[in-house]
Amino acid sequence: MNLEGRKIIVNKSGKELVELLNSPEGYRQLMPDSLQSFEVRENGFKFSLKGMPEIALVIDEVTDNQVTLKSASSSLDFALNGMMNPINENQTEVQLLFEGKFNPFIKMMVEKPLKNFIDALTDNIEKI
């Protein structure tokens, strides 16, 4: 299952975004309003949203043009990629891409909540 967020322009340099997204604490400000808990871990974070199970993510890779978060659970195989394309010194184009390997039943249950989550993250990244 693949989901794409809309492309946005963020008024930050690629370097500023990388610094923010390389720290687990940086993700707290990007979470949707429905956030119920947020716990920083050594190389990632765990959070829960209203009406959804708790999710643990690991910051897998951070480069100048991409951030990859992966599931910390071996039972769920997915990654959330943030693609960053510098426009100029103070602006960066960002797009979130979700890639998950789910059986059809799980896909049917999680597709809409995940799309809403990606949209909310995109909206909050646009505001930083």
CATH number, domain containing residue 27: 3.30.530.20
Q: Which residues of the chain have pLDDT under 50?
A: none
- Specify the pLDDT at position 51: 81
pLDDT digits (tens, 9 = 90+) for 43-58: 999 999 988 889 999 9
Count of domains for the chain:
1
Task: Name the DSSP letter for residue 30.
Answer: G
Return the closest-CA partner of residue 77 out of 94, 62, 58, 90. 58
What is the rounded average pLDDT for all residues in the chain? 94
What range defines the domain where residue 122 resides? 2-126
Q: How far is CA 41 from CA 23, 30, 53, in A?
A: 10, 16, 18
